[in-house]
Amino acid sequence: MIEQAAGCRIKVEALGEAYQALAEQWAERLGLPMDEPDAEFALQLSAQGLQLQQLGPDAPGPVRVDFVEGGAAHRRLFGGGTGQMIAKAVGIQQGVRPRVLDATAGLGKDAFVLASLGCEMSLIERQPLIGALLEDGLARGLDDFEVAPIVSRMHLLKGNSIEVMRHWEGEPPQVIYLDPMFPHREKTALVKKEMRLFRPLVGDDNDAPALLEAALALASHRVVVKRPRKAPCIAGPKPSHALDGKSSRYDIYPKKALKP
């Protein structure tokens, strides 16, 4: 059952008879109704896969995870490779491709970039609807010849990020990457349709300090936190330094050096 979406009415629907059985499977998995006349959101099944659509006259278009076309493909081909700031933040260098846990995976965009550069990625997304979109996108990515080797380095974990990190079994990730949902200001609230869509479902990550604490306890080499460029650091230990971009920055919490 989707606890994080309390207060939001969500239904599952098939956009075509061929997708009815799959829609019913998702409805059962997520504990959502197929028939909800007052629904505010619809999790839809179509030829393009799974997508989340806000309902209503001013709703933005649907959101789905697509690692094959669109923005992910453009960034994979033309994004700047290891020169990208996120690559520098997690410690990618010649002979070094750290094992990374993205504990706030969202739609998997940053994790896909790091996987495309050769990192073995673990992903956690605690909001079940977003996790479902991510699961579907990863499955479709495996069907594409060029994208499959990248997606095969992305491993989706289920559960609350803090609890998963606190009860981690096996070798810990070398780097943990966090991009918590940041409380918005009105002037930036409508920048991305994903944010418009997800904020009613997810809210802000008010437990970001606990997220950072769990990450620092688990990561063997460093923790990286992505923040809006002018936002304060997460409450708790201070980062040793930051990499600043035009709209965002990466706060770095080192534990030990990454070496080839």
Specify binding-site residues: 125-126, 179
Element spanning 156, H or E: strand 154-157
| Cα–Cα dist 69/157, whole Å | 24
Q: Name 178's bridge partners.
A: 225
Place of tokens 């080797």: 149
| Cα–Cα dist 64/45, whole Å | 10
Q: Is 189 exposed, middle or buried (0-12, 13-18, 19+ CB in 10 A)?
A: exposed
Beta carbons of 155 and 121 less than 8 angstroms apart: yes
| Cα–Cα dist 179/86, whole Å | 12
| Cα–Cα dist 216/180, whole Å | 15
Q: What is the dihedral of CA 237, 238, 241, 243, to 10 degrees?
A: 90
| Cα–Cα dist 37/34, whole Å | 10
Q: What is the dihedral of CA 189, 193, 194, 199, to 10 degrees?
A: 40
Q: Name 38's bridge partners.
A: none
Neighbours of 101 (CB within 10 A): 29
Within 142-247, where are the H helices? 148-151, 161-166, 193-202, 208-218
Specify binding-site residues for S-adenosyl-L-methionine: 125-126, 179
